[in-house]
Amino acid sequence: MSEHPQLRHSETSEKSPRTALLQRPTRGPLYRLLHTLIAILREIFDEAAYTRYLARHHCPSSRAAYAAFVRESDIASSRRPRCC
């Protein structure tokens, strides 16, 4: 999940690698809109969750990593209700 572009941890020395990775330089409004739209789609389609998984386990993307991610997220997503 990408962080809010305007959010910063108050103690900058404790920034996690994930936080640092996901911070973006400030650009124009169109860029920010596009960036936010892509971030929304990446979250909805679990790409952001996979990125977090890779960061958490300090491993590069691979078939094995993705299979492990799917196994981990399968139970949680199966319990998630879908609306009518």
Q: From the CB of 59, what's the least distance to other proteins, in Å?
A: 11
Which residues in 23-82 contact other proteins (CB under 8 A)? 36, 39-53, 55-56, 61-63, 65-67, 69-70, 72, 74-82
Q: Which is nearer to other proteins, 27 or 62 (CB)?
A: 62
As a residue count, the chain comes to 84
**Tokens at residue 1, please?**
């999940």
How many residues line the site for other proteins (CB under 8 A)? Answer: 50
CA distance 8 to 23: 9
* Residues whose CB falls within 8 Å of the CB of residue 59, separated by 6 or more in sequence, listed in order: 65
Q: From the CB of 31, what's the least distance to other proteins, in Å?
A: 14
Contact 31, 10 (CB under 8 A): no
Within 10 angstroms of residue 23's Cβ, the number of other Cβ atoms is 15
Chain positions contacting other proteins, by CB under 8 A: 1-11, 18, 36, 39-53, 55-56, 61-63, 65-67, 69-70, 72, 74-84
